C-alpha cells in the first residue's frame, strides 16, 4: 500500500548538511502494523514526518519516492494533499497535551476535522460521527463537550486516536503515541488500537523506544541505524532470529518480558555524527564483528528468504 523508495531527508545547517535519512526502502502492507525501531536520533521520526508530508525546514526531503497505492505522495499538489491528510493518512504524536486546544471543547475539535474534510455531513452528521468515535475509543459520549483538561492523559490520548480515526484513514502514523503515559494505560491503549485495527482494517506505522511493546504490536519491524535501515524482519524475529549485529545488540539491551533476569548489555559507543560519517558500514565503529571490508564498503540491504528478513551486513554474504 505504501512504498518508500530511496527516501532521503537532509537537515540543512548554516555551514553543513546532515543526511538524517539516507536512501531507505520499505513497504507498509494493507492492514499491517509496521514498526520503526532504533536509538533516538536514528531518523525514525524524520521518516514518519516525510510520509505524512510534514517535513519542514531545516528538514528537506531531497530524494526518493513515497507511493500510496501507486500515487506519488511527495508530488501531491495542495488539493490532493488536503485529501491525503486525515482521509488517507493520519497521525498520533507523543504529546496529547499539546495536540488538543485547551480552550475549545473536544467536540468542536473533532467536528472541525470532520467538517473540514467532509462538509457534506453538516453539523448534525459531524456530531453523530463524533459520538461514534468516542464510543469507538471507549469514552462515554456524554463527555463530548468537556474541555481537554477535564480528561486524564490516557483519555486525551484516546481522543487523539479518535480524531485520527475520524475519516477512516488507510494508514495511521503513531510516533511514541503512549510514551507520556503510565505503563498500564499504555498497554490498554495499544490493545485498543490493535482491536480497532483488526476491526477497521487500517495500517499503522508505529514508532516507540519500547521494543517490547513494538514486538507485541507490530507485524514487521524495520531497524534503523544512523539514517539507514539495517534490517527489516517479522516482529518476532527481532529477538529470536536477528540477522544484523545492531539488531542483536538492540535486543540484548532490552529486558526480557519473561524468564530469568539477565544482565542488560548496552551498546557500547554512540552513533556517528551525521556530518562526519564512517566511509563503509556506519555501525563498524561499534560492531564487534567489523572486518576490513566493513570499513570501506557500505553493505546493502538484501533479502534472505531463509529468514524472511532483509538485512545490510557483510557477514551475511
Ligand atoms: Fe558489523 Fe561489518 Fe556487518 Fe557492519 S557490515 S554490521 S561492521 S559485520
Ligand atoms: Mg522521535
Q: What is the pLDDT of residues 145-161, one digit of tens each?
A: 999 999 998 899 899 99
Report how far ligand 2's centroid is from the alpha carbon of 39 (Å): 9
Q: Are residues 106 and 200 in the same domain?
A: no
Residues with beta carbon inside 6 Å of ligand 1? 245, 281, 283-284, 287, 289-291, 294, 299, 313-315
Range of the domain at 60: 2-88+169-316
Considering the domain boundaries, does residue 123 fall inside one? Answer: yes
Torsion over CA: 251, 48, 84, 131 (sign): positive
Q: Which ligand has an atom closest to residue 314 CA?
A: 1
Q: Which residue has the higher pLDDT, 75 or 94?
A: 75
Q: Is 142 in the same domain as 6?
A: no
What's the pLDDT tens digit per position in 173-199? 999 887 777 888 888 888 888 899 999
Sheet (strand 89-92) strand order:
89-92, 171-175, 203-207, 33-37, 220-225, 228-234, 309-311, 302-304
**How does pLDDT run across 193-248, given as a tens digit for each residue?**
889 999 999 999 999 888 988 999 999 999 999 999 999 999 999 999 999 999 99
In a domain, 275, yes or no: yes
Asked whether residue 178 falls in the same domain as residue 310, the answer is yes
Give the three-state DSSP class for 130: helix
Does residue 139 sit in the same domain as residue 191? no
264-269 long-range CB contacts below 8 Å, 24 or more apart? Answer: 267/39
Instruction: List the CATH number of the domain containing 241.
Output: 3.40.50.300
CA of 238 to the centre of ligand 1 (A): 17
Instruction: Please count the other Cβ atoms lying within 10 Å of the Cβ belonging to residue 183.
Output: 10
Same domain, 71 and 134: no
CA 47 / ligand 2 centre spacing (Å): 10
Residues 76 and 107 in one domain: no
Q: Which is more confidently placed, 172 or 96?
A: 172
Quote the DSSP letter at residue 306. Answer: T
The model's pTM: 0.93
162 and 174 assigned to the same domain: no
Of all protein residues, the one whose alpha carbon is nearest to atom 5 of ligand 1 is: 313
Q: Do residues 185 and 283 both lie within one domain? A: yes
Check whether the bond before 94 is cis (ω within 30° of 0).
Answer: no
Domains identified in the chain, total number: 2
- Return the higher-pLDDT residue of 123 and 40: 123
ipTM: 0.95
- Tell me how far the alpha carbon of residue 108 lies from the centroid of ligand 1, in angstroms: 53
Spatial contact of 283 and 271, defined as CB atoms under 8 Å apart: no
* Atom in ligand 1 nearest the alpha carbon of residue 230: 6
Confidence tier at 74 by pLDDT (50, 70, 90): very high
Based on the domain organization, do 291 and 244 belong to the same domain?
Answer: yes
- In Å, the largest CA–CA distance within the chain is 68
Identify the helix (H) or strand (E) that includes residue 8.
strand 2-12
Cell 490520548 sits on residue: 157
Which ligand has the nearest atom to the CA of 280?
1
Is residue 120's pLDDT more than 60? yes
Cβ atoms of 198 and 166 closer than 8 Å: no
How many whole angstroms separate alpha carbon 250 and alpha carbon 252? 5
What are the grid coordinates assigned to 28, written together? 507498509
Within 8 A by CB and 6+ apart from 314, the residues are 281, 291, 293, 294, 297, 299
Indicate whether 75 and 103 sit together in one domain. no
Amino acid at each position: 500500500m505504501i512504498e518508500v523508495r530511496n527516501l532521503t531527508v537532509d537537515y540543512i545547517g548554516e555551514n553543513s548538511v546532515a543526511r538524517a535519512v539516507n536512501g531507505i526502502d520499505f513497504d507498509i502492507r494493507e492492514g499491517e502494523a509496521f514498526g520503526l525501531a532504533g536509538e533516538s536520533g536514528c531518523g525514525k521520526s524524520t521518516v514518519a514526518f516525510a510520509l505524512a508530508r510534514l517535513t519542514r525546514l531545516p528538514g528537506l526531503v531531497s530524494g526518493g519516492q513515497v507511493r500510496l497505492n501507486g500515487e506519488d505522495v511527495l508530488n501531491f499538489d495542495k488539493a490532493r494533499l488536503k485529501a491525503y491528510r486525515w482521509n488517507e493518512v493520519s497521525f498520533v504524536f507523543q504529546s496529547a497535551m499539546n495536540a488538543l486546544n485547551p480552550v475549545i471543547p473536544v467536540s468542536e475539535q473533532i467536528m472541525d476535522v470532520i467538517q473540514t474534510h467532509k462538509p457534506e455531513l453538516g453539523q448534525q452528521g459531524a456530531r453523530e460521527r463524533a459520538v461514534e468515535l468516542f464510543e469507538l475509543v471507549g469514552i462515554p459520549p456524554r463527555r463530548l463537550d468537556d474541555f481537554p483538561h477535564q480528561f486524564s492523559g490516557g483519555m486525551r490520548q484516546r481522543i487523539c486516536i479518535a480524531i485520527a480515526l475520524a475519516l477512516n484513514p488507510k494508514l495511521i502514523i503513531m510516533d511514541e503515541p503512549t510514551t507520556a503515559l503510565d505503563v498500564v494505560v499504555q498497554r490498554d491503549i495499544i490493545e485498543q488500537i490493535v482491536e480497532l485495527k483488526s476491526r477497521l482494517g487500517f495500517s499503522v506505522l508505529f514508532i516507540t523506544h519500547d521494543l517490547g511493546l513494538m514486538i507485541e504490536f507490530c507485524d514487521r519491524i524495520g531497524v534503523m541505524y544512523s539514517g539507514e535501515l539495517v534490517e527489516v524482519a517479522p516482529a518476532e524475529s527481532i529477538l529470536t532470529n536477528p540477522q544484523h549485529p545492531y539488531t542483536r545488540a538492540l535486543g540484548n539491551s532490552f529486558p526480557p518480558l519473561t524468564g530469568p533476569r539477565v544482565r542488560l548489555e548496552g551498546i557500547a559507543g554512540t552513533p556517528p555524527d551525521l556530518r562526519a560519517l564512517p566511509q563503509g558500514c556506519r555501525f563498524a565503529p561499534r560492531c564487534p564483528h567489523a572486518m576490513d571490508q566493513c570499513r570501506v564498503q557500505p553493505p546493502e540491504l538484501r533479502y534472505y528468504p531463509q529468514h524472511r528478513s532483509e538485512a545490510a551486513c557483510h557477514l551475511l554474504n
